[in-house]
Amino acid sequence: MKNIVVQKFGGTSVRNLECMKQVLNNVRRPLAEGSKVIVVLSAMAGETNRLLALAKEWSATPDAAELDSLVSTGEQISVALFAMMAKDQGLRARSLLGFQIPIVSNASYGKARIESIDGARITEMLKDNDVLVVAGFQGVNEHARITTLGRGGSDTSAVAVAAALDARMCEIYTDVPGVFTTDPNMCADAKKIDRISYDEMLEMASMGAKVLQIRSVEFAKKYNVTVHVRSTFSDEPGTIVTQEDANMEAVQVAGVAYDKDQAQITLVGVLDEPGVCASVFTPIAERKILVDMIVQNPSREGRTDITFTVPRADLDQTLKLMEGLMPEIGYKALLSDKSVSKVSVIGVGMRNHSGVAAQAFRALRDENINILMISTSEIKLSCLIEDKYTELAVRTLHQTFLGQYQVG
Amino acid sequence: MKNIVVQKFGGTSVRNLECMKQVLNNVRRPLAEGSKVIVVLSAMAGETNRLLALAKEWSATPDAAELDSLVSTGEQISVALFAMMAKDQGLRARSLLGFQIPIVSNASYGKARIESIDGARITEMLKDNDVLVVAGFQGVNEHARITTLGRGGSDTSAVAVAAALDARMCEIYTDVPGVFTTDPNMCADAKKIDRISYDEMLEMASMGAKVLQIRSVEFAKKYNVTVHVRSTFSDEPGTIVTQEDANMEAVQVAGVAYDKDQAQITLVGVLDEPGVCASVFTPIAERKILVDMIVQNPSREGRTDITFTVPRADLDQTLKLMEGLMPEIGYKALLSDKSVSKVSVIGVGMRNHSGVAAQAFRALRDENINILMISTSEIKLSCLIEDKYTELAVRTLHQTFLGQYQVG
């Protein structure tokens, strides 16, 4: 149905009565335009952490299914309070929990994946209601047990409901005005992006521009749901995340991102034999440590260097793993560096514009910033640099690619 | 199944981690005897009131369905925490919410009546679990919406589950050792009752001996579930509430109860015409005011006096109603008294022992306590007296009927 708008509000947007009233104002906007509204809410800010702290007190290793049933009460409280307030204001509204729709997920408690949503049932309920208030973050599995979709899962709930209803728009409300070309705290020139493609948004989000959950963007891309990231506390339009179009390709670079949570490890003089990479990275993967960049030099005299990055918190554990591999792999030295960070330029236009990499390298060189590692994808160029240069590099790259550039 | 024990714990019994550990000790007792255990829990003490306060802040007149969904989170939190603690301790346990069993109720939000419980599904789940932790107080209606059973509904949940499973025992844990022959705070001689019939318990409970919810006793009587009221914090047996047996009838009086929440109203010189009583009590009933005792004297010269009692909080409203009836009924005077209370002696043995009333009247007379009103049932004698004599009357009646009496 094209006259349905899905709106999602996070924990800070529903943290108290005043904020919920502001949410109600946002709900009234599409209502006034004749649309029905599905409001997806998170738990009130702090509530999920309160419940997790209780679980930790009650159990050293909380049962995953019980933990999901516990924390799902946070959203249940939000939607009940919001629905009763909306009814008080004369709106035809009711709350909907995951099991009531149902939003069916698999049984992976704590990080469940949505499998299906009964859009017909929601549509049926829209006959008697103008506002349906859906508990985000939660689903129900085939055993009628409550599941949760993982942190930030409410974004995914909203996009999934929008997909199930073929809604014309999924609005994700947050406490910032939209997605920026880079971190405004780091670069005063940062501008709000009016339109961005799913792929660019995925790269921006994974780089730390944490406005929108990665999984929800993947979902939006898969089901072609247009997402509008905007501020709860302003009527200004935010950022539209949508399918790539020709217009977007005219723009070389959409944004500049960075990630300070990087640590570098180098295995020097590894015997260059088949399977050596598997030997290095399998034990790391088994411990769920996320390896980001990987570089292997061409071998000389049968030996090579392998360099990769991991989150800083995982550095010590990863080094221990590598030390344990010494007899098997036979490297000559193990080096590591915690003082590194990654800066990236992102844009679908990079595919058709050669020279972005060269331009980026020149810009960094002009500021005497040494590049430690490079990795590239179709729409992204990332450079590992010394940590202390992060802010300078971001400002330099932003000025180079987005300084004169009119966004949109 | 006869090897199932149902145990219910109230809010004070689950108010923190230490108390829940004590609950777990109580669960282990029947487990050690080879029984499976269904644990029915209330919300942690204070939680329901916290949620009701939130509702009040959010809405002047909270929608009843949303309110039920809101407050039901209290029990959801209790059962999740308890189940994860039990699993931590190596027990095969899981939580069950009202919709998961399901406990099907009608749609009277806030005071729903249980219509059916899927005992087969519970039995099925007992194959993989030794302890099922059921959220009390809640059900689900035919529209898949969460309902609550009203304050104290967890007792009813427990008895209803016991009935559905044909459990051998339903243990209601509380913070007192059992049901007493009278209020121990008023009478130092009060003794714990070992066995009491459903009917006696109903009269005791309605008199203010608030150990057990009246509705749960009605349920237990209807489905013949034996209830054991006992202390969470002691291994001592408490009070068994069960079918009447011959042994019980040997005891004239099971207990002495009182109710200080009484106010007396007299309509003097009412025209004694057909329908006058209906005219008096219909408007009172319409306002859900509970009339307790009613006395009408034989009429003289076509006029009579009607005296009745209502809860003190409803006195002013009831007097206004009566004033409004003046033109219709044409009484001569309207009298009222707030300083009255009711004392009662209760026992199934009274049916076969004449003389209980006379003995009670003599005992009160010997203490110069004037009797304002009298009402009787098969197993109960109630006297309205001046408020200030309540404690003396209770002690006197208790001494008269239960002073030398060995309970049980």
Whether cis (ω within 30° of 0) applies to the bond prior to A102 is yes
Residue B337: phi, psi to the nearest 5? -150, 120
Q: In terms of C-beta density within 10 A (0-12 exposed, 13-18 middle, 19 or more buried), how is residue B270 classed?
A: buried
Average pLDDT value for chain B? 91
**Percent of residues, chain B, with pLDDT higher than 90:** 73
State yes or no: pLDDT of A133 exceeds 50: yes
The SS3 call for residue B266 is strand
Distance in angstroms (rounded) separating the CA atoms of residues B36 and B127 = 10
Mean pLDDT over residues A319-330, rounded? 91
Residue-wise pLDDT for A15-27, tens only, equals 999 999 999 999 9
Please report where in the chains the tokens 């302890």 appear, as a residue.
Answer: B131
DSSP for A99-164 reads: TTTTEEE-S-TTS--EEEE-HHHHHHHTTT-SEEEEETTEEE-TTS-EEE--TTHHHHHHHHHHHH
Which token pair is A257? 């991102």
Residue-wise pLDDT for B339-359, tens only, equals 999 999 999 888 877 788 889
CB proximity B28 to A under 8 Å: no
State yes or no: pLDDT of A400 exceeds 70: yes
State yes or no: pLDDT of B405 exceeds 50: no
DSSP for A340-367 reads: EEEEEEE-GGGGT-TTHHHHHHHHHHHT
Which token pair is A97? 């929990």
Which token pair is A356? 């972005």
- The one-letter code for the residue type at A67 is L
State yes or no: pLDDT of B78 exceeds 70: yes
ipTM: 0.82
What part of B 263-302 touches A (C-beta under 8 Å)? none
Residue of A nearest to B14 (CA): A58
Distance in angstroms (rounded) separating the CA atoms of residues B105 and A16 = 32
Which range among A164-168, A169-173, A292-296, B404-408 has the greatest average pLDDT? A169-173
Smallest CA-to-CA distance from B305 within B263, B282, B281, B334 is with B334
By residue count, chain A amounts to 408
The SS3 call for residue B334 is strand
Distance in angstroms (rounded) separating the CA atoms of residues B46 and B171 = 23
- Band of pLDDT at residue A405, cut at 50, 70 and 90: very low
Q: Which residues of A touch B62 (CB under 8 A)?
A: 84
Q: Which residues of A touch B61 (CB under 8 A)?
A: 88
Residues 6+ apart with CB under 8 A from A268: A305, A331, A332, A333, A334, A335
Q: Would you state the pLDDT for residue B215?
A: 86
B142 secondary structure, DSSP code: T
Nearest to A84 among B59, B82, B94 (CB): B59
Mean pLDDT over residues B274-290, rounded? 88
Q: Would you state the pLDDT for residue A407?
A: 45
Check B17 against A55: CB less than 8 A apart.
no
Q: Would you state the pLDDT for residue A274?
A: 80
Residue-wise pLDDT for A251-272, tens only, equals 788 999 999 999 999 999 998 8
Cβ atoms of B340 and B262 closer than 8 Å: yes
- CATH 3.40.1160.10 in chain B is located at 4-175
Check B69 against A59: CB less than 8 A apart.
no
Q: Would you state the pLDDT for residue B156?
A: 94
Q: Would you state the pLDDT for residue A204?
A: 85
Q: In terms of C-beta density within 10 A (0-12 exposed, 13-18 middle, 19 or more buried), how is residue A45 classed?
A: middle
Mean pLDDT over residues B219-237, rounded? 93
- Band of pLDDT at residue A206, cut at 50, 70 and 90: low
Q: Would you state the pLDDT for residue B251?
A: 76
Cβ atoms of B16 and B165 closer than 8 Å: no
The SS3 call for residue A208 is coil
Smallest CA-to-CA distance from B195 within B212, B211, B182, B181 is with B181
Span of A201-205, B40-44, B122-126, B318-322 with lowest mean pLDDT: A201-205
Residue-wise pLDDT for B94-136, tens only, equals 999 999 999 999 999 999 999 999 999 999 999 999 999 999 9
Q: What is the largest CA-CA distance in chain B?
A: 79
Residue-wise pLDDT for A349-368, tens only, equals 888 777 888 899 999 999 99
Q: Would you state the pLDDT for residue B296?
A: 84
State yes or no: pLDDT of A385 exceeds 90: yes
Residues 6+ apart with CB under 8 A from A51: A70, A71, A73, A74, B77
What part of A 41-80 touches B (C-beta under 8 Å)? 51, 54-55, 57-63, 65-67, 69-70, 72-73, 76-77, 79-80
Check A94 against B66: CB less than 8 A apart.
yes
A209 secondary structure, DSSP code: -
Residues 6+ apart with CB under 8 A from A237: A178, A194, A228, A230
- The one-letter code for the residue type at B103 is I
What is the number of other CB atoms lying within 10 angstroms of the CB of residue B335? Answer: 12
Mean pLDDT over residues A97-125, rounded? 95
Which token pair is B372? 């304002």
State yes or no: pLDDT of B195 exceeds 70: yes
- Band of pLDDT at residue A210, cut at 50, 70 and 90: low
Distance in angstroms (rounded) separating the CA atoms of residues B174 and B179 = 10
What is the number of other CB atoms lying within 10 angstroms of the CB of residue A191? Answer: 18
Q: Which residues of A touch B87 (CB under 8 A)?
A: 59, 63, 66
Smallest CA-to-CA distance from B252 within B375, B34, B85, B404 is with B404
Question: A interface mutation test: which of B41, B51, B56, B63 has the most A CBs within 10 A?
Answer: B63
Question: What are the start-end ranges of the E strands in B198-327?
Answer: 227-231, 239-242, 255-271, 294-296, 303-310
Which range among A57-61, A175-179, A279-283 has the greatest average pLDDT? A57-61
The SS3 call for residue B293 is coil
CATH topology of domain B4-175: Carbamate kinase (3.40.1160)
State yes or no: pLDDT of B389 exceeds 60: yes
Residue scoring higher pLDDT (A144 or B203): A144
Distance in angstroms (rounded) separating the CA atoms of residues B166 and A383 = 70
Stretch (H or E) spanning B134: strand B131-135
Cβ atoms of B231 and B173 closer than 8 Å: yes
- CATH 3.30.2130.10 in chain B is located at 256-402
Residue-wise pLDDT for B355-376, tens only, equals 888 899 999 999 999 999 998 8
Q: Would you state the pLDDT for residue A245?
A: 83
Which token pair is A68? 């999901």
Between the alpha carbon of residue B316 and those of residues B260, B311, B319, B336, the distances in Å are 17, 10, 5, 10
Check B81 against A58: CB less than 8 A apart.
yes
Nearest to B66 among A58, A95, A146 (CB): A95
Smallest CA-to-CA distance from B239 within B161, B173, B187 is with B173
Q: Which residues of A touch B46 (CB under 8 A)?
A: none
- Model pTM above 0.90: no
DSSP for A257-295 reads: EEEEEEEEEEEEEEE--TTHHHHHHHHHHHTT-----EE
Distance in angstroms (rounded) separating the CA atoms of residues A10 and B2 = 49
Question: What are the start-end ranges of the E strands in B149-275?
Answer: 169-174, 195-197, 227-231, 239-242, 255-271
Distance in angstroms (rounded) separating the CA atoms of residues A319 and A324 = 9
Residue scoring higher pLDDT (B27 or A203): B27
Class of domain A256-402: alpha beta
